[in-house]
Structure 1
Amino acid sequence: LGPRPRRLRLTAWAAGAFFAADLLLWHHAIEAVGAGLATVMGNTQVVLVGLIAWALFRERPAPAALAAIPIAMLGIVLISGALEEGAYGENPPLGVVLGLLTGVAYSGFLLTLRHGAGDQRRVAGPLFDATLACTVVILPWGLASGDLDFTPGLESHLWLIALALSSQVLGWLLITVSLPRLPAVATSLILTLQPVATVVFAAILLGEDPSPLQLVGAAAILAGLIVASVGRSSRTPEVVPERA
């Protein structure tokens, strides 16, 4: 916290706008293709962030990141249902588009926050600005679309509290504790379990039933994520977080 240059604060606000877009796109992707597949699609940011950094900041990605692109693209085509009839989801092609845009938006959030953080020892300030900006962007969108509910019921509150305390507070505490204790490659591979677990839990808890081809597509995307993560981790200890 504390005073920071105006440029850094504006950059953090831009990161928050990207994160707002990420959340909005992800939730609409869930409606179109289900929670499991939408989360897998959103995690394409592991591949996209390197390409965007290459285009904007001349940070050449590892060869493995480039090799992961055709693998992930195959998975995207399979999840979209373009090669079959009766694919799972209300609108699988739309879900794929929204899922890809989710990955792009999350990549924008990570890169913008990274390049606008300034002093890396003071991360609370940029995160506060980004969170506030995210709220400011989402609020009018929710009002305009009619999706915003200021008085959710008790059950909804309990689910939100469970989400906050489990995957957010406890999950990120565990990640923060484990990062310095594990090799970067191991951490990257372990974090790819999150989209895998989402597909499994979505089937168990929500009754989602992706087609065999869509499951193969999800596996292909996950394979691409692993290839990209291992290649990046062999060059640098930095780990790009999976979306929560």
Structure 2
Amino acid sequence: MSIPQVNTAPAATAVLGAATIGSSAILIRLSGESPATVAFFRCAGALAVLAVLAVLEHRRRGPRSRSSHTWSLLAGVLLGITLVLQNHAIAALGAGIATVLSNLQVLFVALAGWALFAERPTRSYFLALPAALFGVLLVSGALETATPTTVTASGVLIGVLTSAAYAAFMLATKRGGRGGPPHVVGPLAEINLAAMGIALLYGLARGDFDPTPAWPAWGWLLLLALGPQLLGWFLITTSMKRLPIALTALILLLQPLVAVALSAFLLGERFSPAQLVGCAVLLAAVLFAGAGGRPASWPARQGELAGSTARVARETANSPC
């Protein structure tokens, strides 16, 4: 049984991916389009590139299993549902509290990853998690809203369901990548295809889908598709194969931090001291968890391997060869 390795290369890839995805909020705001229109075109634009790359990947690495196709399409449906639920959570609770609740996915992912993939989170992960969530709370501004949105039981339920759907999306993505040839582009293309379908159905049902966005909205949607949706999720999907899923989920919490930085730099927005403190706390928590080394369940197994290595070394030394 192979032992998963936590090293700086995939962690750095995940951080870069999270930073890229973190620019989504500002691009969405600049586009001025409805949530359904944004979700559809960000997936459609990425799919246009991924479809070509998926064909090349198929020729190079061979076909994927039926199970891989199934899990990728399921992950895409879950991503589409996540986007829909998140829109309703923001409307019901306000952006601040909705951001906090949607990021509870780290709890669901950590527990499910432990149960499904035997990836026990590190001790540093458990220590960093409360600080990371508190940092998200500060960054979101949920504690500073002068006229807070009324928090209802239904709104909280929608927020929690958003987190659950997001966590299920990540778990399905990781499950689909286990076993078989190491495909990345093909599954990502199918994820975008399924999510695009959910966004289209949602937009048609609400009657706010715009099939022909005008300029400059089209340009912002194109940047959203090629940046966060294509490059960002490609980096996350690649790193997810080599990182514990709980750590990947924690790294994704950096997205609000990037959104705050870009809003200040590009839009000239000013943020409160509490939000800046939240950025620092969140960054420190993620760095602490990422530097925590191996999961707590590894030492015994590594001791067994060390003993086996020593035994082989002794046998080799005693060999006449």
Tell me the TM-score range normalised by the shorter chain.
Answer: 0.5 to 0.7
Aligned to 1:159: 220
Partner of residue 127 from structure 2, selected from 47, 67, 88: 67
Counterpart among 177, 190, 203 of residue 129 in structure 1: 190
Please state how far the C-alpha of 1:22 moved relative to its aligned partner.
3.3
Does structure 1 residue 138 correspond to structure 2 residue 202? no
Q: Match for residue 285 of structure 2?
A: 224
Cα separation, 2, equivalents of 1:108 and 1:27: 18
The residue number in structure 1 matching 2:40 is none
Q: Give me the identity figure in percent.
A: 43
TM-score (norm 1): 0.66
The equivalences for 1:138-217 within 5 A come to 138-168=199-229, 195-206=256-267, 208-217=269-278
> Are 2:136 and 2:253, in contact at CA under 8 Å, matched by a contact in 1?
no
For the Cα contact (< 8 Å) 1:49–1:107, is it kept in 2?
A: yes
Cα distance in 1 for partners of 2:193, 2:225 equals 17
- The 8 Å contact of residues 71 and 224 in structure 1, kept in 2 or not, is answered as yes
Which aligned pairs between 1:80-99 and structure 2 lie closer than 5 A? Answer: 83-84=143-144, 86=146, 91=149
Aligned residue number for residue 24 of structure 2: none
- In the alignment, does 2:34 pair up with 1:11? no
- Decide whether aligned partners of structure 1 residues 207 and 145 sit closer, same or farther in structure 2, where only a CA change above 3 A counts: farther
Tell me how far apart the structure 2 counterparts of residues 138 and 108 of structure 1 sit (CA, whole Å): 18
Question: What's the CA shift string for 1:32-71, capped at 9, x where partnerless?
Answer: 327xx94x87666566533331244442111111112221
For 2:172 and 2:252, the matched residues in 1 are separated by 22
**Contact preservation (8 Å) 2:64, 2:181:** no
Between stretches 140-149 and 42-51, larger displacement belongs to 42-51
Q: CA deviation at 1:156?
A: 1.2
Would the aligned equivalents of 1:33 and 1:92 in 2 still touch at CA under 8 Å? Answer: no
SS of residue matched to 1:61: coil
Name the CA distance, whole Å, in 1 between partners of 2:253 and 2:134: 18
- Highest CA radius of gyration, 1 or 2? 2
1: CA distance, partners of 2:68 / 2:231: 29
Task: List alignment gaps of at least 5 residues for structure 1.
Answer: 180-187, 237-244
Report whether the alignment pairs 1:33 with 2:92. Answer: no
- C-alpha displacement of 1:145: 2.3
Deviations 1:181-230 (A, max 9, x none): xxxxxxx8998865433211123434544443344334433333223333
The total of aligned residue pairs comes to 220
The 1:61/1:120 distance shift into structure 2, 3 A limit, reads farther
* CA spacing shift, 1:100–1:141, aligned 2, 3 Å: same
